[in-house]
Structure 1
Amino acid sequence: MKLNYRIVIFALAIVFGIVFSLPSLLQTQSGKKITLGLDLQGGLHMLLGVKTEEATKSRIKSMAASIKHFAERNDILINGLTFDNKSVTFEVLDSDEIKTFDEFLSKLEGVTVTHKGSVISVSLTPKEIEKTKKQAVSQAIETIRNRLDQFGLSEPIVARQGKDKILVELAGIKSQEDEQRARELISRAAKLELMAVDEDRNARVYNMSDADAASYGDIILEDVKSPKIKYLVHEIPILDGGMLTGANVGFDQNNRPVINFKLNAEGADIFGDFTGKNVGKRLAVVLDGKVYSAPNINERIGGGSGQISGNYTVLEAKDLAIALRSGALLAPIYLMEKRSVGPSLGADSIKASMIALIGGFVLVIVFMMVYYRMAGVIANIALIANLLLLLAVMSLFGATLTLPGMAGIVLTVGMAVDANVIITERIRELIYEGKSMHKAIEEGYSNAMRAILDANITTLIASVVLYVYGTGAIKGFAVTMSIGILASMLTAILGTHGIYQMLESKMGKSKNYRFWFGIKG
C-alpha cells in the first residue's frame, strides 16, 4: 500500500467533515451549528398586506418638502403650497422666477407639471404611481428582511405573495415576548420627520380641530410620553428619514438610552439651512406620527446629526435603531393572517425524516456491501464522508435545514452512491475483459467520468435555478442538493480513486475478484 495525493485530500476532507459537523450532531454549546427551519422547530408564520396607496401619498408629501426647500434656498416667494393624494399645488409670486422653478421641476422623474398663470401643479404620472406602489412592496420586503437579520434571527423567510402581500416565516420564535417584539419590529413604519412647530398658533392648539389646523397647512401631533400634550406643526416636513444614513443607541447625561442619528449631505444642508434661519424657534423630532422631542434651536446646527430621546428601555432603543437603520417603510403594512407553528410538528417531522434518512442510508450501505463486497465498503466510506462534508459545510455557514432540505439529503445519498456504482461497474467490465488491475481502475474512472460529470453538472444547474427563483422551502432543498453534489464529486471521484490506487497492488496480487468486486475472477 502506498499513499497518494488523492488519499491525503480525502483524509483531510473527512477530518474537516468530522470537526465541523460534530457541533450540529452533538448539539454542543460552542461551535457553528445548522439551524432548523420553521417546519422542524416551530415558529411564526405571518401573511402581511401592504397599503400601497399610502406610498403615493408619502411620495407627494416628500415632493412638497423638496419644492419648499428649493424655494427657500433660492429666495423664491411662493404662496399656498398645498398637497393631496394626487398632486402638489403652489403659486410663484414673482412671474420671472417661474422659469427657474420649471428647470428644477424638469429634473424630477415621473411627474407632470401644469400651469395656470402663476399657479403650478405637480402630479405623478399614472405609470409612476404604479411604479411607486410596486416599489413600496419590494422595499417593504427588503426592509423587513434587513430588520429581522439585525434582530438576530437566522435566515428568516420574507417573500412576495401575489401583488401586494408579503409572507414572513420566523423559525425559533417560541415565547409570546419574542413574537410580540418581532411583530412590532416588522410592522413599525420607522418614519422619521423633522417638522417645524407653528409658533404663531401653537398656543391655541388645544382649542383647534384637525380641520382648523389643516386650514393653516398644519397638523396636530401628540407627545409620545404624554398624549395630553399636543403640538401644532407644519404638515410639510423639513426633511424625512429618507436622508438618514445611520442610527445607533447612545446614552444621555442621565444615562438614559437615546438614538443618535446621522443625515446624508443633502439632509445636512437642509438641516443646517433651516436651523440657521429659525434660531429661537422649535423643531419637532417626529417618529411615526408622535413627537419625541421639540427642542429650541439655539444656533445653526451643522454636521447633519441629531438625537431622539424618549421614555424607552435599552432593548426598545435597540429595536428602534434597527428600524431606523434598515429604512422606513414607504407604505404601512397590516397583519392579514398569523399562525404559530408548535415544536411538536417539528419533532414529528424530524422523527419521520430521520427514519427515512437512516433507513435509506442503511439499506444503501447493506446493498453495496452485499453486491460489491469490498468495493461496496469503499463506496460506503465515501458515502459517509459525503454526509459529513454536507453537514460540515451547512454548519459552517449557519444554513437553515428544512423538511425539503432533509429530502435533499436523502436524494444526495442516492446520487453519491450512484457515482460509485457507475465506477465499480466500469471496473468490473474491464476485469471481465482481462485488463490488469491498474488499467481496469484507471480506465474505469476515465470511462465513468463523463457520465458522472454530465449527471452532476445538470443537477447542479437545476439546483442553482431552484435557489435563485424558489422560495424558502425550495431554497433549502436546492442548498442541500448543491452542497451534496459538490461533496460527492470530491468523495466519489477523488476519494475512492485514491483508495483504489493505495490498494491496487494488493488487489492485483490476490486475484480474489469476488472479495474485492463481487465477481468471479
Structure 2
Amino acid sequence: MLQIDLWKRILIWAVVVIGLLMATPNGFYERVEARNDAVAALDLGYSGNGLEEQAALWPSWMPSSLVNLGLDLRGGAHLLAEVQVEDVYETRIKSMWPEIRDMLREERATIGTIRLQPSDPDKLVVKISKPEQIDRAASLVRGLARPVISVTAAGQNDIVVSTNGDTFTVQLSEAEKLATDERTVQQSLEIIRRRIDEVGTREPTIQRQGSDRILIQVPGIGSAAELKEIIGTTAQLTFHPVVGRGSNPEANPGPGNFLVPDMENSTDVSDSSNVYYTLESAPVVTGEELVDAQPSFDQNNTPAVSFRFNPTGARKFGQYTAENIGSPFAIVLDDEVVSAPVIQAHIPGGSGIITGRFSVEESTNLAILLRAGALPAGLEFLEERTIGPELGQDSIDAGRIACIVAFAAVLVFMVLSYGLFGIFANVALIINVGLIFGLLSMIGATLTLPGIAGIVLTIGMAVDANVLVFERIREELKTAKGPARAIELGYEKALSAILDANITTMITAVILLVMGSGPVQGFAWTLMIGIATSVFTAIFVTRLMIVTWFERRRPKTIEV
C-alpha cells in the first residue's frame, strides 16, 4: 500500500519549515546584516549612533544567520604578498653575537681580545688578536651549533663557521635557511590570519602560493590600502640598552650597535632637533615574549598601550631592570624608538606601558598588531586590487539572471513533460533552493560566483531524480498495475539509480573540496549541499505531496 507514517510526514515538513526559516534572512540581506553588526557592537559595550534602532530592524526570535558573500560578489581587497625571508637570516645571526661574545671572553687568555668586524647583514665576522688560535676560536663557536629542525635535514647543523687569517665567519647553513624559510612563511600566514580575524572581517581567504607568497582576499573591506595597514606592518617590538643619543643621522654606531631615529622626529631630516639613539643590537626582550597588549591611558590620560610578558620575558625584563637602575633603555617598534625612559626601579611583574603621541585609534591598532604577534619578516606586495561593490553587484545580478533563466526553463519543461506530477516536482524544486540557502546560512558558508554556478547546476540536476521516478511510474502503468502500486514501485525501483548518480557526483564534489582552493571550494560546497537537498526533496518531499494528493482524490487512473 502507498502510505507514509504520520511521524514521517511531520518530520519531513518540519525539516522543510526549518530550512526555509533559516533561508528567510537572505531575502532581507542588508537589513539583517545591519542588525547583526549593531548587535555585535552592543555586545562589545558600544552605544549610541543609532545602534539600538538598527538592532531592532529584525525580530530577535527569527533566525539571523546569513550566507556570507565572497570577494567577487561583495567587493573588497585582494593582495598578493611575498615574504622577505632573507630578513630573518640577519635577525638570527645578530641574536647569536651576545652568546658568542660572552663565551669567547672567557677564553681571552688563550685567544686574545675579540672584535666584531663590519660584514654582510647575514654574517658575523669576528677578529681575534692571536691569529694562531683562530682554529681554537672557530672550534668553540662550532660547539654552539644546534641540529636543524627539519625532516629533510636530519643530522645537519644550523650554522657554518669558516676561518680566514685572524678572523672567522659565522653564517646559517643552507639546510637551516631552507627550514627557516618554511617556518617564516607558515608563521607569517598564521599571524596575518590572526590580525585579520581581530578586525572582525567576514570569511577572508588567506592561503599560501608557491614557496614564499601569500594570497589575501578580504570581502567587504574598503580598499587594498586599508588591508595593507592591517597586515603590512611587522609590529616588531623590542627592548634595547641605550648606548648613546645624538642628532646626527650619519653617526657611526660602532660594532654590535645600530642607529635608530626617535618616533617623534620631524619628517625634515635636516631638522637639527631630531633625535637618534645608538642601541645595542641584541635586544633584552622581544615582542615574541608578549602575551597580551591592550589599549589604555597613561597617568596624563593620553592614549597608550599596556603590555605583559610571559614568564621567560618577565624574568629577563625584571633581571635587566634590577641590574640597570638609573640607565635608559629604548622601546623600539619597527625600527623607531617609541620611548626611552630611565629605569627608576626594579620592575619584577613583567608588565609595562608604551606611551607616545598616539590617538585612540592608533593605540587600538597597535594593541591589535602586538597581540596578534609580530611578523617574522617584512612583506612585499606584488599585486593589490580593490574590487568595488558595484562589480560585486554586477556579479550578483548576472548570477540572479542565470538562476532565474535556469529555474524558469526547468519549471516549464517539467510541467510540459509530466503535467500535475511536474507541478509537484516544481514545488519541490522551489523548496530545494530554499533549503540550499538555509544550509549555507546555518554553516556560515561563503557564496562566490562559482558557488552560484553550483546552484545553477543543482537546479538542473535537482529534477533528475524526479524524472527517473516519473519515467519508472510510466513503465509500471503500462503493465496494467493500479495507480497506487505503480507509484509505489516507481519510487522503489528508481531509488538505486538515484542514489548511484548522486553518490558519484558527491564523491566528485568532495574531491574538489579537498584538492581545490578558494572559488573551487565554493563551487564544491554548493554542489554538495545541492545534492543532499535535491535527494531529500525528490525522495521524500515530492513523494509526500503525491501521496497526500492521491489519498484525497483516489483517482482510478493517472497520467504521468
Q: TM-score, normalised by structure 1?
A: 0.84
CA distance in 2, matches of 1:187, 1:157: 16
- Correspondence for 1:146 among 194, 199, 212: 194
Q: Where does residue 196 of structure 1 map in the other structure?
A: 241
- Correspondence for 2:503 among 442, 450, 457: 457
Q: Where does residue 391 of structure 2 map in the other structure?
A: 345
Query: 273-282 or 402-411: which moved more?
Result: 273-282
Equivalent residues in 2 for 1:291-306 (5 A)? Answer: 291-306=337-352
> Is 2:256 aligned against 1:209?
no
CA distance in 1, matches of 2:536, 2:306: 51
Q: Secondary structure at the match of 1:335?
A: strand
- Correspondence for 1:106 among 146, 155, 172: 146
Distance 1:433 1:319, change over 3 A: farther
Distance 1:216 1:55, change over 3 A: closer
- Correspondence for 1:393 among 439, 445, 451: 439
Equivalent residues in 2 for 1:28-107 (5 A)? Answer: 28-29=31-32, 30=35, 31-64=64-97, 67=99, 80=115, 84-88=120-124, 105-106=145-146
- The answer (yes or no) to whether the contact 2:100–2:141 under 8 Å persists in 1 is no
Q: Secondary structure at the match of 1:86?
A: coil
Distance 1:453 1:308, change over 3 A: farther
> Is 2:221 aligned against 1:182?
no
* Deviation per residue, 1:359-409 (Å, 9 max, x gap): 111111222222222322222222222211211222234432221111111
What is the CA-CA distance between 1:506 and the residue it aligns to? 4.5
Q: Secondary structure at the match of 1:464?
A: helix
> Is 2:277 aligned against 1:231?
yes
CA distance in 1, matches of 2:84, 2:423: 61
Amino acid at match of 1:141: L
What is the CA-CA distance between 1:486 and the residue it aligns to? 2.3
* Deviation per residue, 1:27-58 (Å, 9 max, x gap): 22332322322222333333333322213223
Amino acid at match of 1:111: D
Distance 1:99 1:338, change over 3 A: closer
CA distance in 1, matches of 2:364, 2:103: 38
* Deviation per residue, 1:468-515 (Å, 9 max, x gap): 3333222221222222222223322233344444445457x312311x
Distance 1:24 1:283, change over 3 A: same
- The answer (yes or no) to whether the contact 2:147–2:158 under 8 Å persists in 1 is no
Q: Secondary structure at the match of 1:297?
A: coil
CA distance in 2, matches of 1:482, 1:503: 31
- The answer (yes or no) to whether the contact 1:6–1:495 under 8 Å persists in 2 is no
Structure with larger RCO (C-alpha < 8 A, sep 6+): 1
CA distance in 2, matches of 1:274, 1:257: 27
What is the CA-CA distance between 1:2 and the residue it aligns to? 6.8
Q: Where does residue 361 of structure 1 map in the other structure?
A: 407
CA distance in 1, matches of 2:114, 2:545: 86
Q: Secondary structure at the match of 2:238?
A: strand
CA distance in 1, matches of 2:95, 2:471: 71
Q: Secondary structure at the match of 2:403?
A: helix
- The answer (yes or no) to whether the contact 2:206–2:214 under 8 Å persists in 1 is yes
Q: Secondary structure at the match of 1:159?
A: strand
CA distance in 2, matches of 1:403, 1:502: 38
Amino acid at match of 2:11: I
Distance 1:397 1:303, change over 3 A: farther
* Deviation per residue, 1:417-465 (Å, 9 max, x gap): 2122223323333333344555544443343333333332332333233
- The answer (yes or no) to whether the contact 2:77–2:227 under 8 Å persists in 1 is no
Q: Secondary structure at the match of 1:167?
A: strand
CA distance in 2, matches of 1:92, 1:389: 77
Q: Where does residue 218 of structure 1 map in the other structure?
A: 257
Distance 1:321 1:269, change over 3 A: same
CA distance in 2, matches of 1:368, 1:482: 23
What is the CA-CA distance between 1:128 and the residue it aligns to? 2.0
CA distance in 2, matches of 1:15, 1:97: 79
Amino acid at match of 1:220: L
Q: Where does residue 307 of structure 1 map in the other structure?
A: 353
What is the CA-CA distance between 1:288 and the residue it aligns to? 0.6
Q: Secondary structure at the match of 1:494?
A: helix
- The answer (yes or no) to whether the contact 2:158–2:173 under 8 Å persists in 1 is yes
What is the CA-CA distance between 1:282 and the residue it aligns to? 2.1
CA distance in 2, matches of 1:99, 1:470: 50
Amino acid at match of 1:260: S
- Correspondence for 2:16 among 6, 14, 19: 14
Query: 231-240 or 125-134: which moved more?
Result: 125-134
Q: Which runs of 5+ in 2 are unaligned?
A: 36-63, 150-156, 267-273
Distance 1:345 1:2, change over 3 A: same
Q: Secondary structure at the match of 1:311?
A: coil
Q: TM-score, normalised by structure 2?
A: 0.79
What is the CA-CA distance between 1:410 and the residue it aligns to? 0.4
Distance 1:361 1:224, change over 3 A: same
Q: Where does residue 410 of structure 1 map in the other structure?
A: 456
Distance 1:342 1:206, change over 3 A: closer
Q: Where does residue 479 of structure 2 map in the other structure?
A: 433
CA distance in 2, matches of 1:115, 1:163: 29
Query: 496-505 or 126-135: which moved more?
Result: 496-505
- The answer (yes or no) to whether the contact 1:4–1:502 under 8 Å persists in 2 is no
Q: Where does residue 542 of structure 2 map in the other structure?
A: 496
Distance 1:238 1:84, change over 3 A: farther
- The answer (yes or no) to whether the contact 1:246–1:261 under 8 Å persists in 2 is yes
What is the CA-CA distance between 1:411 and the residue it aligns to? 0.8
* Deviation per residue, 1:322-365 (Å, 9 max, x gap): 22222222221123333332333223222222111011111112
* Deviation per residue, 1:139-193 (Å, 9 max, x gap): 333322322222222122233344433333332234xxx5533221121111111
What is the CA-CA distance between 1:99 and the residue it aligns to? 9.7
CA distance in 2, matches of 1:434, 1:304: 89
Q: Secondary structure at the match of 2:282?
A: coil
CA RMSD of superposed structures (Å): 3.4
